[in-house]
């Protein structure tokens, strides 16, 4: 299955890891914003099947058809523009660089800070709809079949993972072990993890065993 980032970059990027490894520039900031918006909406829509789901479907449709004549983008694309505008102020830097510290004094990256900005924007749209009781109806009559949006294992979903972060930090995982763990936390199957990270099943089994052993040594068997 072709990943959306590959499709919309016309094959330039194999996955989102390759996209976000580059410094922010005029050539990639739009796509970065779109991918961050998709991930943020994918997370929120699990808890909001009214506004967030409408925005998510609208954004997916926009990405596939916005190049067509007389096509009007949906409100969902405002989320992508919010992300792109936030990232553009850091042109020349990588999203993995430190943005600053959060309220707890923990350092966060530019990418993480962008997710928080997008989350605030989405919450504003949801609160506005709640106040006015306006939930738009989605017309699927001329809706074209779209490919599945693959799970991105390079970014944790934007929910409260405070306990998870503390647990992972205590495990002192390697970069590869952390990438494997994040993939499984995002619901990916083993074949998808192999394809995404470019590693074999044996490597995955070995790393999973190592993670499990460290967990047992710290917390005992669950």
Give 70-116 as a 3 state SS string.
Answer: CCCCCCHHHHHHHHHHHHHCCCCCCCCCEEEECCCCCEEEHHHHHHH
All structural domains of the chain with their residue ranges: 4-150, 160-222
Quote the pTM value.
0.59
Query: Residue 138: what pLDDT?
Result: 34
Pairwise pLDDT comparison (99 vs 51), residue with the higher score: 99
pLDDT in tens, 154-202: 444 444 556 666 777 788 888 788 778 877 776 677 887 787 777 788 8
Q: Does domain 160-222 have CATH number 1.10.10.10?
A: yes
Mean pLDDT of the chain: 78
Query: Residue 157: what pLDDT?
Result: 43
Residue 62 has pLDDT above 70, yes or no: yes
């Amino acid at each position: 299955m072709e990943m959306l980032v590959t499709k919309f970059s016309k094959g330039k990027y194999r996955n989102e890891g390759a996209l976000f490894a580059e410094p922010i520039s005029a050539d990639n900031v739009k796509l970065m914003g779109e991918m961050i918006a998709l991930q943020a909406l994918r997370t929120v829509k699990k808890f909001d099947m009214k506004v967030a789901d409408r925005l998510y479907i609208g954004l997916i449709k926009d990405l596939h058809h916005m190049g067509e004549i007389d096509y009007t983008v949906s409100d969902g694309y405002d989320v992508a523009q919010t992300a792109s505008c936030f990232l553009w102020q850091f042109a020349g830097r990588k999203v993995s660089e430190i943005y600053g510290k959060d309220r707890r004094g923990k350092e966060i990256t530019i990418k993480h800070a962008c997710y928080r900005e997008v989350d605030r924007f989405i919450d504003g749209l949801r609160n506005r709809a709640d106040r006015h009781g306006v939930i738009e109806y989605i017309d699927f009559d001329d809706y074209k079949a779209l490919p599945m949006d693959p799970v991105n294992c390079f970014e944790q979903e934007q929910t409260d993972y405070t306990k998870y972060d503390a647990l992972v930090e205590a495990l002192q995982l390697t970069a590869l072990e952390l990438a494997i763990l994040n993939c499984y936390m995002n619901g990916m199957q083993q074949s998808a993890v192999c394809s995404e990270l470019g590693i074999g099943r044996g490597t995955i089994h070995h790393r999973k065993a190592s993670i499990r052993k460290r967990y047992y040594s710290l917390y005992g068997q669950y």
